[in-house]
A and B are shown apart, each in its own frame.
Chain A
Amino acid sequence: MTIDYDEYIKKFDSRVAKYIPPKNEWTPADYAVYGPKDLFRVPLKESKELQFNAIKYQFKRHFEQNKMYHGFCKDKKVTPDDIKKYDDLEKIPLIPNEFYKDYPTGRDFALWLANIFTGAIPSIKISQKEPNYDDVINAFNAAGLAVAYSSGTSGRHTFIPRDMRTFHISEYAIAKAAISMAYPIWDYDMHGYLLMPNPFKTNVYAGKVCTIYYDVIKHVTAAIDKELNTEIIRMSMIDGSGLKAKIIKSTLSRMNKKITDNIIKWLERNDKEKNKIVFAGAPSLLYNVTNKLKEDGQTFDFADRGAILTGGGWKVYEDRRLPVAEFRKEMEEILGIKPEYCLDAYGMVEGNAWMVQCQEGHYLHIPLCYYYPLVLDKEFKPVGYNQPGRFAFIDGSSYSYPAFIISGDQVRMLEHCPVCDRPGPVLEPEVTRASGKEMRGCAEEVRRMVSTDIGT
């Protein structure tokens, strides 16, 4: 018998109670994130109200408590008093994502992080004389913050300073979005395989944000169990031919083979024990597995007990982008996982929202209750529905930095999902990079790291 949705989400909430602040401390931002039972099924009028209150609240905070953003708003002649009604949200000044990629080195990097932070920062001790990025991030995180980074095929990461409250929102949002969309397959007793670095050993955002995976899934295995820092990622992303780069690449190459073998063994064991399984993370790792299985003529049948949640990194080789539909077909043919439980999520380090595909049509649904999506033309003016353009958003959930961002992604937004009955706009499934922008996301980093010996 299928579990009732209310019961299902109650079970989820009981698992993630530590991520939710006490209700008497909730701000409009918390009401918008933690309040709805299903982030994707809030009636439009209600979600717009939650969204407006959350964004207005956060905009005022960032305007008042963030010198950098205050100056930016002053230049654009916008103050919190200008945000009176829903349509005024478009007046909120948006920060290009490149801003968070443009930072100095050494001690100045620490000051940069502190100066883009909204509100008071805790006392942070940096012991190194010439600290590198990892030294600074680790010092911030030891002081109770959650600085994470992502992407940069040329080795230029995006650094975002989250406080724990903001980071918990991000963790909660990814888990809730995925689990509600995957209803009713999620079950705490599932066996999970994280196609990402171990969240406890990295500050790569897509890895770090998955710490909650360990709270909602009983048995979790991480693909990459090594400590990953900016230097290792930088070495694996750039075409370095130095000795250090060669050693790192060779290690990663061996690791890739090992990951593929480990996943196959893991599949065999869970198949034998008839366990329910869930994969989450970079699609390229699974693609390597299914390729190997195809070569060996091996298949599995996880039809009613398997799910996949992928995120970004849809390039499988340097010159080839794998369409998400083709990926689902492949997963069904080789692993037996049904297409309705093979969902892709779209999110980024700069924001706390996760757009997850619906089972019915695989369109990316937007958690409207705290997130205002926009599509911009080449002159950065909003365009209507159905028009392609650069994705931008006003995220009303971030406390520690202004998450009002123009992304580097090219999307098309539709007013309604053409297939399912969830209210609110959706994005078409294929999100690509705007021209001139480097490849997106942490999953792309994972792909680049482990792709050394698969023909790239």
Chain B
Amino acid sequence: MLTPWEIKRKEYMPPLIMLKLNIKGSFFLAKVILLNLGTLKKMKKQGQKNIYMRPKLTYNIPKYKSSMKFCNLDEKYLRPTLYCDCRAPEIIALANELGAFKKSDREFAETAFEFAKRKIILEIIPLDGVVEVLQRGTGTCIHKISLFIALCRAAGIRGRYKFYALKMLDQWMQPAIDHAPLMKQWYDAMGYFLLHGEGEIYLDGKWIPADVGAEPQRQAAAGLPVTKLGEDSIGLWLFPIPGTITRRESVPLGLGFTGNLLIKRVAPDSVAGINIGILEQIERGGKIIEETGGEKTYDTMTRKKREPEKPKIELDEKKEIIFEG
């Protein structure tokens, strides 16, 4: 049972901006549903037509031994938080197998980053804990980053979450465009996507970005370079809505409930469609990498022809603009 003290201490309360975004998102979702009642009815009558087959695990979960080392400090960014139990035996075992306390912090973090990025496949699914993620081998960007943060915390590296509302490249949301027109409509109606979760870890005296959400194949399918630890997804394929970025020790409370409602109740077929689309994207990207001559060649080539750099813009207040409303 969570105590109010723990809720405050571990930053479990959702930030105000997240609450506002969720309310706005629910409003737009309701609008899309109301405007498409006929379509939804038809879809329900047809029964579930999108059948998603989860891919098989491509790794073994190592066995935990009591002799395994792990970080036991009750310090901010190093302790277990909601959905991120870094003291779970499976997480400690995996951290040790990936080289915790043997490799340098950076080397370990890179190994853990690659594991979460490559081995855990994106699947839109209700939030659950890191052990379930590891056992299933799939999860959303938040599941994936939770696993990475848990591994880092287990190895004594501070890790935190970064959440924001965002727009994304059309190619990136191809699975939704192809398989879930209502989801696409929701995105179009709002003008952005409600939430993306990535992480930051504290290395060599500074916080560095870590987005494990994108598998190399999906990046290839969207013509993106294969990003590494320290490379930001922001500006590459994700574009945050200004003022929505928030950094926290934990996934906030309530997020699981909203996700559950949307995924299980409101649009299970659309979600299954997106998950099918994700696997198609992975297959397509895999072919691109193969045809280009392997991941390294693909990555070098793509980085060379990346979009040119854009200016950065700060939204300074202007006294000439008067908001009367």
> Which A positions have Cβ atoms within 8 angstroms of B?
67-69, 71-72, 75, 94-96, 98-99, 102, 104-105, 107-108, 110-112, 114-116, 120-131, 154-155, 234, 238-244, 378-380, 406, 436, 438
Give the distance to chain B from A373, nearest Cβ to Cβ, in Å: 17
A residues in contact with B307, CB < 8 Å = 96, 98
Pairwise interchain contact B315-A112, C-beta atoms closer than 8 A: yes
Q: Given A155-B188, A378-B304, A436-B223, is A68 in contact with B325 using a C-beta cutoff of 8 Å?
A: no
A residues in contact with B181, CB < 8 Å = 239, 241
Pairwise interchain contact A242-B321, C-beta atoms closer than 8 A: no
B314 at the interface (CB under 8 A from A): yes
Pairwise interchain contact B316-A406, C-beta atoms closer than 8 A: no
Beta-carbon contacts under 8 Å, B70-103 to A:
none
Pairwise interchain contact B322-A124, C-beta atoms closer than 8 A: yes
Give the distance to chain B from A121, nearest Cβ to Cβ, in Å: 5
Q: Given A129-B325, A378-B304, is A71 in contact with B312 using a C-beta cutoff of 8 Å?
A: yes
Chain A residue nearest to B235 in the complex (CB) = A102
B318 at the interface (CB under 8 A from A): yes
A274 to B308 Cα, complex, angstroms: 53
Binds A, one of B31-39, B44-52, B250-258, B273-281: B31-39
20 pairs, CB–CB < 8 Å, chain A vs chain B: A67-B314, A69-B311, A94-B308, A96-B308, A102-B239, A110-B321, A111-B316, A112-B315, A115-B318, A116-B313, A120-B320, A124-B320, A125-B324, A126-B323, A127-B325, A242-B35, A244-B35, A378-B304, A378-B305, A379-B305
Pairwise interchain contact B305-A67, C-beta atoms closer than 8 A: no
B residues in contact with A234, CB < 8 Å = 188
B residues in contact with A438, CB < 8 Å = 170
Q: Which of B39, B308, B316 has the most CB of A within 10 A?
A: B308
A residues in contact with B170, CB < 8 Å = 154, 438
Q: Given A238-B188, A240-B185, is A107 in contact with B323 using a C-beta cutoff of 8 Å?
A: yes
Pairwise interchain contact A108-B188, C-beta atoms closer than 8 A: no
Q: Given A72-B311, A154-B170, A238-B188, is A243 in contact with B325 using a C-beta cutoff of 8 Å?
A: no
Q: Determine the main DSSP class of B at the interface with A.
A: loop
A residues in contact with B239, CB < 8 Å = 102
Q: A110-B321, A126-B323 are in contact. List 13 more A-B contacts (CB 8 A).
A: A68-B314, A71-B312, A72-B312, A94-B308, A102-B239, A108-B315, A110-B323, A114-B318, A114-B320, A123-B320, A125-B322, A125-B324, A241-B36
Beta-carbon contacts under 8 Å, B240-256 to A:
241-243
A154 to B170 Cα, complex, angstroms: 8
A residues in contact with B39, CB < 8 Å = 241
Partner of B188, one of A112, A131, A240: A240
A residues in contact with B243, CB < 8 Å = 104, 108
B residues in contact with A126, CB < 8 Å = 321-325
B291 at the interface (CB under 8 A from A): no
Beta-carbon contacts under 8 Å, B279-325 to A:
304-305, 307-318, 320-325
Give the distance to chain A from B27, nearest Cβ to Cβ, in Å: 12
A residues in contact with B185, CB < 8 Å = 240-242
Beta-carbon contacts under 8 Å, B198-245 to A:
223, 239, 241-243
Give the distance to chain A from B232, nearest Cβ to Cβ, in Å: 15
B residues in contact with A71, CB < 8 Å = 311-312
A residues in contact with B55, CB < 8 Å = none
Chain B residue nearest to A107 in the complex (CB) = B323
Q: Given A115-B314, A116-B313, A241-B36, is A105 in contact with B188 using a C-beta cutoff of 8 Å?
A: no
Give the distance to chain A from B314, nearest Cβ to Cβ, in Å: 7
- Residues 175-190 of B, flagged 1 when their CB comes within 8 A of A and 0 if not, give 0000001000100100
Pairwise interchain contact B321-A114, C-beta atoms closer than 8 A: yes
Pairwise interchain contact A96-B188, C-beta atoms closer than 8 A: no
B171 at the interface (CB under 8 A from A): yes
Pairwise interchain contact B322-A123, C-beta atoms closer than 8 A: yes
Chain A residue nearest to B324 in the complex (CB) = A127
Pairwise interchain contact A115-B313, C-beta atoms closer than 8 A: yes
Pairwise interchain contact A436-B311, C-beta atoms closer than 8 A: no
Partner of A111, one of B188, B304, B315: B315
Chain B residue nearest to A234 in the complex (CB) = B188
B residues in contact with A105, CB < 8 Å = 191-192, 241
A residues in contact with B305, CB < 8 Å = 378-379
B residues in contact with A131, CB < 8 Å = 325
* 7 closest residue pairs by CB, A with B: A129-B325, A72-B311, A242-B35, A378-B305, A111-B315, A99-B310, A114-B318
A residues in contact with B171, CB < 8 Å = 436
Give the distance to chain A from B164, nearest Cβ to Cβ, in Å: 12
Partner of B241, one of A69, A75, A104: A104
A115 to B317 Cα, complex, angstroms: 9
Pairwise interchain contact A130-B316, C-beta atoms closer than 8 A: no
A111 to B317 Cα, complex, angstroms: 7
Beta-carbon contacts under 8 Å, B122-181 to A:
167, 170-171, 181
A residues in contact with B311, CB < 8 Å = 68-69, 71-72, 95, 99
Pairwise interchain contact B308-A380, C-beta atoms closer than 8 A: yes
Partner of A68, one of B35, B304, B313, B320: B313
A residues in contact with B304, CB < 8 Å = 378-379
A residues in contact with B313, CB < 8 Å = 68, 112, 115-116
B residues in contact with A436, CB < 8 Å = 171, 223
A residues in contact with B188, CB < 8 Å = 155, 234, 238, 240
Give the distance to chain B from A102, nearest Cβ to Cβ, in Å: 6
A160 to B323 Cα, complex, angstroms: 21
B residues in contact with A239, CB < 8 Å = 181
Q: Given A96-B307, A102-B310, A241-B181, is A122 in contact with B320 using a C-beta cutoff of 8 Å?
A: yes
Q: Given A67-B314, A436-B223, is A111 in contact with B321 using a C-beta cutoff of 8 Å?
A: yes
A119 to B325 Cα, complex, angstroms: 26
Q: Given A108-B242, A436-B223, is A67 in contact with B316 using a C-beta cutoff of 8 Å?
A: yes
Q: Given A105-B192, A238-B188, A240-B188, is A111 in contact with B318 using a C-beta cutoff of 8 Å?
A: yes
Give the distance to chain A from B95, nearest Cβ to Cβ, in Å: 38
A112 to B239 Cα, complex, angstroms: 15
A130 to B312 Cα, complex, angstroms: 25
Give the distance to chain B from A237, nearest Cβ to Cβ, in Å: 10
A110 to B318 Cα, complex, angstroms: 10
Give the distance to chain A from B13, nearest Cβ to Cβ, in Å: 25
B residues in contact with A154, CB < 8 Å = 170
B residues in contact with A95, CB < 8 Å = 310-311
B residues in contact with A122, CB < 8 Å = 320
A102 to B168 Cα, complex, angstroms: 10
Partner of A96, one of B167, B192, B223, B310: B310
A116 to B308 Cα, complex, angstroms: 18
Give the distance to chain B from A429, nearest Cβ to Cβ, in Å: 26
A239 to B188 Cα, complex, angstroms: 10
A residues in contact with B241, CB < 8 Å = 104-105
Pairwise interchain contact B36-A115, C-beta atoms closer than 8 A: no
B residues in contact with A112, CB < 8 Å = 313, 315
B residues in contact with A111, CB < 8 Å = 315-318, 321
